[in-house]
Amino acid sequence: MLDGDRDVAYLVCRRCGHVYQSPRLGRDELAAFYAMGYRELRQGTEGPTAKDLAMQTARARLTVGLVEKAFRESPVGRIAVHVDQDAGSALPSMPCFGLAAETRATFVRLKGENFDASRESVFHYAVLANRVPLIDSCKHDVLGQALGLDTDFVLAFARLRHDGDSRIAAVFMHELGHNLGLTHEVYKGIDSSCTHPGYACYDPDLYANYESVMNYHFQRAFGSSSHWRLGYSDGAHGTDRYGNPDFDDWGNLVFASVVMRF
């Protein structure tokens, strides 16, 4: 549940079907991932034990606590985020799951079976999955997926949990940001392929002023920024070397997709 004190105009269409996702690993990262023997964790098992679920839930609570703190201490004032993990449930194992076109029908069906529709006016629905396929294929992975200006997102939790709680929280907050209207259509520095070294156009100076978890530079500490951010930008960091201005994420969050409760 999100509490905000402003009405913000829609910037892109609601429920228009666009999927925003954190990038897949680069070639070297992927090779290292397999070399460390994470295939079973990455693919998951057909029957996770009660211990598996308890450990994942405990880890998720730590992650969520960091996200709640970032919202609570936002520069635009306190924003309360309530995460109801106790209402969640374990989903059945399947080889391909997410918000990609090929898998979305399955996602919608499972959400209908495991999430009370009456809660959707207040709560977002997040799934901690082992593997999240790329939008155009079930053969490649991304770290997370979200629908822009909507209520659903997915995290590749088994992949992320080896990065530490703060890095998991960064992807969580990135995908939630898409739900709240922070998309590439709104500001080109959001999800720009050229801020990720896995792409040919990669430029470490591009959008280096946009200190936001929505920027791959700062979500995963790429490029000239050797540090990362767990938070959104306040728009106060001038321009990059190409004249691209910073963007005020906090001031452009769209809360109209959820019901405000005071």
Q: Is the pLDDT of residue 260 over 90?
A: no
* Domain contains 203: no
| Residue 176 pLDDT | 93
> Distance (Å, rounded) from C-alpha 229 to C-alpha 21?
18
| Residue 133 pLDDT | 79
Q: Which helix (H) or strand (E) holds 72?
A: helix 50-72
Residue bearing the bigger pLDDT, 11 or 47: 47
Of 107-121, 128-142, 198-212, which range is least confident? 128-142
C-beta atoms surrounding 201 within 10 Å: 10
Average pLDDT, the chain: 78
Residue-wise pLDDT tens digits, 141-152: 788 999 888 889
* Domain contains 229: no
* Domain contains 127: yes
* DSSP state letter for 65: H
Q: Is the pLDDT of residue 46 over 60?
A: no
* Domain contains 121: yes
| Residue 252 pLDDT | 95
| Residue 43 pLDDT | 43
**What is the token pair recorded at 29?**
């990262």
Residue-wise pLDDT tens digits, 177-205: 999 999 999 999 999 999 988 889 999 99
- Which of 29-33, 41-45, 119-123 has maximum average pLDDT? 119-123
**What is the token pair recorded at 116?**
């009370």
* Domain contains 169: yes
pLDDT average, residue stretch 3-9: 36
| Residue 72 pLDDT | 93
| Residue 24 pLDDT | 61
* Domain contains 7: no
For the chain, percent of residues with pLDDT exceeding 70: 70
* Domain contains 255: no
Task: Give how many domains the chain has, as a whole number.
Answer: 1
| Residue 244 pLDDT | 98
Q: Is the dihedral of CA 49, 25, 85, 10 positive or negative?
A: negative
* Domain contains 161: yes
DSSP 41-62: HHH--SS--HHHHHHHHHHHHH
Residue pair 3/260 in contact (Cβ under 8 Å)? The answer is: yes
Q: In one letter, which amino acid is 85?
A: Q
Its domain, for residue 147, covers 19-188
Residue-wise pLDDT tens digits, 14-31: 444 556 666 666 667 666
| Residue 14 pLDDT | 44
pLDDT average, residue stretch 84-93: 74
Mutual angle of helices 165-179 and 50-72, in 10-degree steps? 70
Give φ, ψ of 58 to 5 degrees. -65, -40
